[in-house]
Structure 1
Amino acid sequence: MAHAKAGASLPVPNVQALAQTWHGSGEPMPVRYVRTEETSAGEVVAGCAIPVMDLSRLLNPRLSEEELANLGFACQHWGFFQLINHGVPDEVIQDVKRDMIEFFKLPLEAKKVHAQVPGGLEGYGQAFVYSETQKLDWSDMIYLRISPMESRDLRFWPTRPPSFRDSVDRYSAETAKVTASLLRFMAVDLGVESERLLEAFRGQPQSMRTSYYPACKQVADVLGLSPHTDATLALLLHVNDVQGLQIRRDGKWHAIDPIDGAFVVSIGDILEVYIIREMLMPDRHRQLTQILTLFESLKLNSFS
């Protein structure tokens, strides 16, 4: 029985292609995607109002103190917040979303040019498939290493559409600046020098994952992305207007209503442990790997 090494993923069928053939076949859903027990487990609270942070207020000396207190509360008690007025130009966001959508619209063989290699994670394929028996997510993805530059493997960087690489570069540069700004303010809230926190994570790799969730006629039986914690420093998630993101808090799943144009920010495991250590709260533990990841997530073509 095959097993993937750490940080790698086993090859599995393409979900986008599977959805196209299965929907009209009359056949039952492939059993590895059926996860009814998981999707129905636990109470789901609709319309969760996670904290909303305003980066422009943090940057304004007259307003930053109040917003800083809100940031501290969000990090310590939620680990999630929505970020508005983040300064990333809408043109940059729309360009990368357009190019990602165009990439996923390509014929399967064209996308496979940038497919993950056996035992790898970077490229086009599926994430976190560790064994041949595990249940599978109803999604495809493309995962790219962004920085440092020498870590890039351009075999996995699409050239169609032609603007793809430029739009990813511009988006990644802008979100990296947002992350750096947030780290500085988190340092102030922790009562440590901002350079101390930045130095602790300076040079960590930056990556980008875009997920595509095909339409599904049995949407109540599948998961687009398995329940997980993020083994990262921080995660910036940009979603479109299709709902589906949930977070778990106090034993319940909370459905997030994304604010138009906002980022959903997740405090990753690595940063959380740093915060816990600084606050002398060693009673919370999670398994970690050392990576900084900025994710762009697209939810497309919801089934109706």
Structure 2
Amino acid sequence: MEPKAENRYVQEEEGLGWGKSLPVPSVQEIVRNDSQIVPEKYIQERKDRPTLDSEFSPNSSEIPVINFSLLANGDEDELGKLDFACKEWGFFQIINHGVPQKVLDNMKAAVAAFYELPLEEKKKYAMAENDLQGYGQGYVVSEEQKLDWGDLIFLMTLPPEIRIFKHWPLTSPGFKEAVENYSAEMQKLSDELAAKLSLLMGMDKDGLKKLYGEMKQAMRLNYYPACSRPDLVLGVSAHSDASALTLLLQDDEFTALQIRHKGTWVPVKPIPNALVVNIGDVAEAWSNGVYKSIEHRAVTNVNKARMSIATFMMPNEELEIGPLESMMDDKHRPKLYRKIKSTGFVRSGIS
């Protein structure tokens, strides 16, 4: 019997107006039917094909690592590391973040259980025609478009009233509880990061919250099947995030995330139980370009499927986003971005 959604979580189902994505075949099913086939639609143009982990030098640069416990307790050195990471990399990993191991494990297990469901069961949670929430593949706008080697389920998770439970696989045991617990932990981390960014951008610690209120939260639960030709495909094509901040829980077993740094692709080597954080387009606009929203992508693996969980923090879509007064100076740092509604960022992509 399907669990009933609590009344306070029910929302009108007219969609969020973020555009739509054309339905495409499940990559997981393509691989199940023939693990050696790579359809032409998934083969990237030569210029876009991935750099595999084996091709990187052992001396490849590594993104900054920040001790979140020290940062949250006001350590000035760690705050300086955050400032450096946002300016020079746009990405960093956080350790000692305080998220209970059980919450991480349960979230990973919930995602794995969803993708083990039969295809017909997963299709019950397919993306609506006028929305990007649900199961499928996002931002497919053309029949000629090159496709990513992966499936996803995209959910709005906070505040609770924007959840649309018809897209949540509530029949999968433990799914709702795992997502809610993980969502709450990501909210705590993002609130603390927003407070530190407020300080770095010349405001008091509640500066961003006062200006933009509580952030909305969305999650993208990704499944990247193994691929017989990982040199030809991408799990996620190169993009920057339309969020303010993104927090990513990676698979610890192999390196798949790559970021563009100084003109080259740099692998983000997983640290067990760490979270990867990146600056999104909204935060770049807030900082007047001082902090960088960086292009990134994901590669696939020949032997093993991979999962990841991306959590996006976004302002209300009706709010105007632009450079903060504290980040502008007529002489040395003129205004570089015009104000636009947050919806304009969201429609450019959450991947």
Give the TM-score normalised by the residue count of structure 2: 0.75
Alpha-carbon shift at residue 6 of structure 1 (Å): 4.6
**Percent identity over the alignment?**
39
SS at match of 2:238: coil
| CA distances 1:177-203 after superposition (whole Å, capped 9, x unpaired) | 000001111111222122221223323
Change in 2 beyond 3 A, CA 1:247/1:283:
farther
Residues 128, 177 of structure 1: alpha-carbon distance in 2 compared, 3 angstrom cutoff: same
Question: Contact 2:66 / 2:92 at 8 angstroms: preserved in 1?
Answer: yes
Following the alignment from structure 1 to structure 2, what is the Cα–Cα distance between the partners of residues 128 and 84? 32
**Aligned residue pair count:** 284
Checking the alignment, whether the CA contact within 8 Å between 1:233 and 1:270 is kept in structure 2 is: yes
135, 155, 180: which one pairs with 1:124? 135
C-alpha contact (below 8 Å) 2:254/2:269 kept by paired residues: no
SS in structure 2 opposite 1:117? coil
Distance in structure 1 (CA, Å) of the matches to 2:27 and 2:224:
8
Match of 1:279 in 2: 327
Distance 1:99 1:40, change over 3 A: closer
Task: Tell me the TM-score normalised to structure 1 length.
Answer: 0.86
CA distance in structure 2 between the partners assigned to 1:58 and 1:284 by the alignment: 29
Corresponding residue of 1:180: 191
Q: Which residue of 1 aligns with 2:205?
A: 194
Secondary structure of the residue aligned to 2:272 is: coil
Contact kept? 1:247, 1:253, Cα under 8 Å = yes
Matched residue of 1:227: which SS? strand
Work out whether residues 183 and 197 of structure 1, in 8 Å CA contact, stay in contact via their aligned partners in 2.
yes
Structure 1, unaligned runs of 5 or more: 298-304
Could you say which structure has the greater relative contact order, defined with CA pairs below 8 angstroms and 6 or more residues apart?
1
1:59 aligns with 2:68: no
The 8 Å contact of residues 33 and 138 in structure 1, kept in 2 or not, is answered as yes
Q: 1:158 to 1:282 in 2, by over 3 A?
A: farther
Partner of 1:33: 42
The alignment partner of 1:141 has SS state of: strand
Mapped contact 2:190–2:245 kept (Cα < 8 A): yes
Between structures 1 and 2, the one with greater helix share: 1
Between the aligned partners of 2:107 and 2:121, the Cα distance in structure 1 is: 19
Give deviations 1:133-171, integer Å, cap 9, x for gaps.
110000000010111222111100112322100110000
C-alpha deviation, 1:45, in angstroms: 4.7
2:271 to 248, 259, 280: 259
Q: Let me know the Cα RMSD of the aligned residues.
A: 2.4
| Counterpart check, 1:244 vs 2:256 | yes
